[in-house]
Amino acid sequence: MAKFNLKSSTLVFFMIWFFYIVFYGLLTTVIREDGYLNFEPLFITSHINTLFGNQELVKNFFLSYPLLTNVLSYPFSIFSAVDAPFFASIFYTSFFVTALVTSVGSKQNKVIKILLFLYFLCSPITFYAATSGTSVYAFYILYFLIFFYLFNYIIRFTTYHITILSIILSLAVFLDFRILWILLILFFHVFVFSIYGIKGLSSNVIIKYVKITQHISLRRKYVGHLNSMVFIIGFFPVVTLLLYLFINYLMGDDSFYFYNALGAKWNSNRELSLLNVDVLTTFNNKAVNDFSFLSIVLFITPIYVFELIMNYKRGLKIFILLSVPILLYVLLRDSQIEYMGLFYYVIIIASAIASVATSPHRYFSKKVPVYFSYACVFAISIYGEYSYLKASTFTSEHVYYKSVVEKEQNDVLSQYKNGGRFLELKTPKNSIVLCDRSIMYPMIAYNKKNNIFVSNVSADFKKALYNPKKYCDYVVISNDKSPFYYLDKVVINLREIENTALGYNNYRSKVVFVCDAFRIIKIIK
């Protein structure tokens, strides 16, 4: 019977997973055929296209950020580099929600299993994570695992859960190292966890602590437990971060090269918006001026607030859930608010879902009222998530909503796509192209392997600037209408060279492709 149940549960898992993959896959196919394009998946594709293009494989690999999203997308590039970010989104999101639904169902919470299944099927943010090709799915899964193991730890108080938590936190280094601010919050939590970890005393944390301080043996046991907990939680993420900073220092002469260098990190050109080529402007995020981001975030909090209410008698669980707004506040201060999007805000939903997933069966003893409450909360959350995406002004989310819901084509991205197609189809194979890859990555994404793009950090970049006739065949330059005109390294360096006439090499050229954002110039040999 046990074997039969195991085979049955495995079959159910793969059936649900297959259903989600097909569902999200069809949805992604439809929205992409309708013209959906976005910046982040094109950034990932551009790195896949250029990863093996020169002798700087290791450097390109470690200095492209977020590294975790790139690594998760690489296996799917065997089918298509342009499709790889979307395949990754569909695959990992489907696996995540399937594992969550089936694990909850294994605890005999069949109704909650069905409600979660329907919630993930209708959730706009889950749609976005699965079909946008962005890295939101990776953040969603990472946050969920952090809180899942935290909640499991306060149930069993085992070193296993803390060790796995530490390993999971080390992955944050390769996704967004600023998430590690959570370590400072967790170290305070560990102080309380260590008190609860001492068995055989009163359940009141204050009385427990007083008794521990009054007995030498208990005090020694508590201090030893506290120190080991701090070491275990902090070891893997801190060591991983230090190693990554050291690698970047060796390769890029800057410990934070992966984060600060233009072109190394997704959204590194955050001072200017690609959405409007006619206006030099910062991101038009309401949060910068009037903190209306708070009203936007409220749309995605119903499940989180409901879990706070339902667990009001479970002090440790509330204690963990309350770390979410604290971490968000720290991240807001660190990222200056205007660069906040679902890659941070989804922690609110992930922590709440982790709370539901780790609730014991007796938690649902009053079945009808509890199940009805969850049905209402999930329905409200679905509407709230839609309202969030509608109100969001973060670039990727704004582009997704406008393209998928309002069917508005993004002219800027179409121009980059046309430029990439032109270079791929209208130029000789292995033609050398000089451009600022930190700006022209959407164009490189659509070029596949027809051309060789000179890297911004390679020695050939400087050579091609001073002698285009010898070292390159085509030059791509931002037009003065582009918001990146004054950041384009090719424009800046060529203007400098022409003004100083130092080593300037005269050459003939002609414009072979032009649009509002940029122009492609052919060097006449």
Residue 21 CA to residue 27 CA, distance in Å, equals: 10
> Which of 375, 370, 347, 306 shows the shortest CA–CA distance to 148?
347
The answer to whether residues 96 and 137 touch, using CB atoms and an 8 Å cutoff, is yes
Task: Indicate if the alpha-carbon torsion angle 14, 16, 19, 21 is positive or negative.
Answer: negative
Residue type, 11: L
- Closest C-alpha among 44, 47, 26, 28 to residue 36: 28
Contacts of 172 (CB under 8 A, 6+ apart): 142, 179, 180, 182, 237
Q: In what order do the strands lie in the sheet with 431-434?
A: 451-453, 431-434, 474-478, 518-524, 508-514
Per-residue pLDDT of the chain (525 residues; tens, 9 = 90+): 344 345 557 888 899 999 999 999 999 999 999 889 888 899 899 888 877 665 566 777 777 888 899 899 999 989 888 999 999 999 999 999 999 998 886 665 788 888 999 999 999 999 999 999 999 999 999 999 999 999 999 888 888 999 999 999 999 999 999 899 999 999 888 888 877 766 666 666 667 767 777 777 777 877 887 888 889 999 999 999 999 999 988 887 888 888 877 677 776 655 444 544 443 334 344 333 444 566 777 899 999 999 999 888 888 899 999 999 999 888 877 665 556 788 889 999 999 999 998 887 666 666 788 888 999 999 999 999 999 998 887 778 888 999 999 888 778 888 889 999 999 889 998 899 998 888 888 888 888 777 888 877 677 888 888 888 888 899 999 888 777 787 788 888 888 777 775 555 677 889 999 988 899 999 987
Nearest one of 344, 371, 349, 352 to 308, comparing CA atoms = 352
∠ Cα 329 331 334 (to 5°): 110
Query: Which backbone phi and psi does 505 adopt, to 5 degrees?
Result: -110, 120
Q: Is the peptide bond before 41 cis (omega within 30 degrees of 0)?
A: no
pLDDT digits (tens, 9 = 90+) for 1-40: 344 345 557 888 899 999 999 999 999 999 999 889 888 8
Whether the full predicted model's pTM is greater than 0.85, yes or no, is yes
For the chain, counts of helices (H) and of strands (E): 27, 5
Candidates 22, 143, 44, 144; CA nearest to 91 is 22
pLDDT digits (tens, 9 = 90+) for 68-95: 998 999 999 898 889 999 999 999 999 9
The b-or-e profile of 107-141 (16+ CB within 10 A means b, else e) is: bebebbbebbbebbbbbbbbbbbbbbbbbbbbbbb
- Backbone Cα Rg of the chain: 26
User: Which stretch of DSSP H or E encloses residue 151?
Assistant: helix 136-156
φ, ψ (nearest 5 deg) of residue 151: -65, -35
